[in-house]
Each structure stands twice: as C-alpha cells, then as structure tokens.
Amino acid sequence: EMLTDDDLLCATRAIVHCSLAVTADLLAHLGEIDARQLYLGRAFPSMFAFCVSELGFSEDVAYNRIAVARLGRRLPSVLDSVRAGQVHLTGLRILAPHLTEDNLEPTLAEAAGKKRCEIEALVARLSPQASVPPSIRKLPERAPALANAEEESAPPLLAFTEAAEVEASFPA
C-alpha cells in the first residue's frame, strides 16, 4: 500500500517515538546487566565485549550505550530524557562525567535538542579547563651546509622604495 507523504512522515515519527522508548528500556536493562556483572558468567571480560560480541553492537554504539546506561543507573531521570527524545545518546555520553544531581535538570534542559558541537560547548562552560601556559622553546640549529645551500638557491631579495622616490626618478 502506498502512503501519502504526510502519512509516511507521521508513521516515521511514530516509529521514532517507539524507538526512543525501546532505547530507554534497553539502557535500563544494560545498566542492570552491568551492575550485576552478568557478562562475566557468559565468559566476557567486560560489558563492552559482551555488547559487541553477544549483542552485536558496533564498538561506538556499545560505548555510547554503556556510558549512558551507567549514567542512567546513577541518575535515573536521564532515561526519561532518552524516552522523550530530548537529548541524543552521544550528547548524554559527553555530558555524563559532568552531570550531578544538582545540575542535572537545568543541564538536560539546556542540552535538549542540541547538536553534538553545541553540547560540547555546554560541557566547556560546565567544566572549564585551565588554559595551557604559553611556552617558548629554542628551535634546533640548522646544519651549516644546509643553511649555505638554501641561501645560494634562494631568489634574490628585491628592495622596495617609497613611491615618491620612484616617481622622482622618472622624467616628467
């Protein structure tokens, strides 16, 4: 059956909504598997290895989901943010080390609907890093033979004069 453009877009939004709910539930389960260390009973040395080999996640998907699942165990309302589609998993992973119970709600509200680079800027404001002090270092000396060869092959330098001097040298 052929859907109209509007019906296709509406159905796609409904599927995304369902997907977000499933993702939130999956994260809750992953967090519990991690907390119970059930991956050890399956002969996996880590939750990451379990997710990649047992569940078939790619490495980046496993990394993001594990990080957000752990965040969800520490701060359960994060999973509500996932379920509502407010902040994407990559954004939550970036925010995870900086979120506390005190800053959770305002930070999630500020991160809602933001792109990765915007969330990175938010993190920079949350946890500013000290600037690297300027440093001066001595450059290594050039080998004398190399320096002479470069000088000989360099084009001649041209001298520039003031425009008034150039004009004065031409007869009127």
Distance CA 115, CA 92 (A): 11
Averaged pLDDT for residues 1-18: 95
pLDDT at 1 over 50: yes
Residue 160 confidence class, pLDDT cut points 50, 70, 90: very low
Count of C-beta atoms within a 10 Å radius of residue 40: 12
Contacts of 142 (CB under 8 A, 6+ apart): 150
Residue 136 confidence class, pLDDT cut points 50, 70, 90: confident
Least confident of 42-56, 90-104, 126-140, 142-156: 142-156
CA torsion through residues 83, 86, 91, 96, sign: negative
From the number of C-beta atoms within 10 Å of its C-beta (0-12, 13-18, 19+), residue 133 rates as: exposed
For 56-106, the pLDDT digits (tens) are 999 999 999 999 999 999 999 999 999 999 999 999 999 999 999 999 999
* Rounded CA Rg of the chain: 30
Task: For residue 130, report the phi and psi dihedrals to the nearest 5 degrees.
Answer: -65, 140
